[in-house]
A and B are shown apart, each in its own frame.
Chain A
Amino acid sequence: MRARDNPFRSDRILSLRYRLQGGSWEGLLGRFEELGRRAAIVGPQGSGKTTLLEDLAPHFRRGGYRVRDLRLDTETPRFHESFLDDFSRTLGSRDLILFDGAEQLGRRAWFRFLRRSRTAGGLIATLHRPGRLPTLWATRTSPELLERLVEQILGDRARDVRFLTSRLYEKHGGNLREALRELYDVYAAVNEESGRSGDVSPLPAAPREQGAMARGPCC
C-alpha cells in the first residue's frame, strides 16, 4: 500500500479536530476569563492537548487577540535566553500566548517564564499534570473516543477494526496518537499482505489482524 493511500497517515490524523465532550467553546472561553486569563490544558500524552490549543486559536483571533504560539518538546526542551527576552519585550495586552509543552520547563524556568509573560493579555499552557496554572480543561480519552475518531477516518469501514480499537487503546495506555499510528502499520501490513495497492482495502477478519498488528512497519 502506498503511504499516501493509508487512511491513518499523519496529515489525516492531524486534520482531526478536538471533540469538546461535555462542554462548549463559549463555556470554555468564559471560564478562561473567570480564571484571570491564565490557565492550563491538562492531560496525558496523546489526549488532544495540542489539538485543543490549535482549535482555540481562531476563537481568540476572532476576539481581537494576537495569538502568539510557543512550543517546547523533548527535542527542544527550553528557550534560548535571548529568545524569551526578545519575546517578552513584544508582549502587550492584546497578545495571547498559547504555550504547548510547558511541562518541559523546570520549576525555576517556569516562574521565570511567568514573570516575563505577565504583560501578555492571556496565557494558556498545556501540561501533563495540574498545578502550575488553574485548569481550564482536562483532556481525557476513552476507547469510545478512539472508536469515534477511527469512524471519522474510515467511515463505514471502521467496523472492520472495531474489535481492535479497545485493544490498541489499552496497549498504548490511552495515548490516542500512538494507537492511531499503530493502525497505520496495521493497515499498511494487511494491504501489503493482500497484495493490494491504491485504494484502501478493508481489514480482514480478526484472527489475521492479530498477526498483522504484531508486525512492525515493513519499509
Chain B
Amino acid sequence: MSRLALELADGKTKYRPGEAVEGVAFWELDEQPRSVEVRLFWRTQGKGTVDVEVVQSLPEGSRGPRDRRPFRFVLPPGPYSVSGTLVSIVWGVELVTEPSGESASAEITVSPTGEEIRLGKVIGR
C-alpha cells in the first residue's frame, strides 16, 4: 500500500505573503512513478464553481518509488486565506504522483496576520 506525506518545516501552517513555505515530501509507492510533483496552490470552496490555481510547482520526472524531496515556495502577495458564508479561499501544498494519481496535501493559511480572514455578513434590503 502506498504512503505519501508532506511535512512543513517546524510544523508551521500560518504564513504571511512573501514568506517561504518549506518542508519535505515523502513517498513510498507500489510502483515506479512516471512523475512526482509538489505544488503550492489555492482553491475556492463553497456554493459556487470550484476554482483552483497552482501557483508554483516542482515537477520531478525521474524519482524512485521510495524517496523524499525538500521543497521551498515563496508565497505571492495574494489572495489571502478568507472565509465567508458563500466562499472560502484555501491554500495548500500537495504532493501528486502519476500515473496512480495518489496525493497528499497540507493546508496552510496566508494573510497579513497569518490567520484566516473572516468575511462579514452582507445584509440585503
Interface residues of A (CB under 8 A from B): 1-4, 6, 9-11, 14, 181, 184-185, 188, 192, 197, 217-219
Contacts and interface: CB of A to CB of B under 8 A. Distances in A.
A185 B86 CA distance: 9
Contacts, number: 57
B119 interface: yes
B50 A14 contact: yes
B85 A217 contact: yes
Interface of B: 43, 45-50, 83-88, 90, 118-123
A10 B121 CA distance: 20
Contacts of B88: 2-4
A4 B46 contact: yes
A218 B47 contact: no
Contact of B50 (A11, A192, A218): A11
Nearest to A219: B122
A215 to B, nearest CB: 10
24 contacts: A2-B84, A2-B85, A2-B118, A3-B45, A3-B46, A3-B47, A3-B83, A3-B85, A3-B86, A3-B87, A3-B88, A6-B46, A9-B46, A10-B45, A10-B46, A10-B49, A185-B47, A192-B121, A197-B118, A217-B47, A217-B86, A218-B85, A219-B120, A219-B121
7 closest Cβ pairs, A-B complex: A3-B46, A4-B88, A2-B83, A219-B122, A3-B88, A4-B45, A219-B85
A193 to B, nearest CB: 11
